[in-house]
Amino acid sequence: MTDKQVTLAQIRYNTDSDGQTLCWRLILDGQEVLVESVNIEAPVFTSRDWMEDIERFKHHISVRNCCVTINAAGEAIITSPDNS
């Protein structure tokens, strides 16, 4: 199990997924992790970032100052410091 405090967590669909496994990309302070599912128990906002390598914008569901727990099954839980 991974338990990490992050300044910014961004969530977006993994378009390289087969639609059944590793469907979500988590970008945790700039580091990407693929997961099976995401449960968000914290305030969220949307964000848009320009991706230089592909010259396109990508859109995210984002959470600031949160704790991210990823279990062995690849299920991510994102909580605010008050809920962790």
What's this model's pTM, rounded to 2 decimal places? 0.88
Tens-place pLDDT, residues 12-35: 999 999 988 999 999 999 999 999
Give the chain's mean pLDDT: 93
**Closest Cα to residue 80, out of 62, 57, 53?**
62
Going by the DSSP 8-state scheme, the letter that residue 79 receives in this structure is E
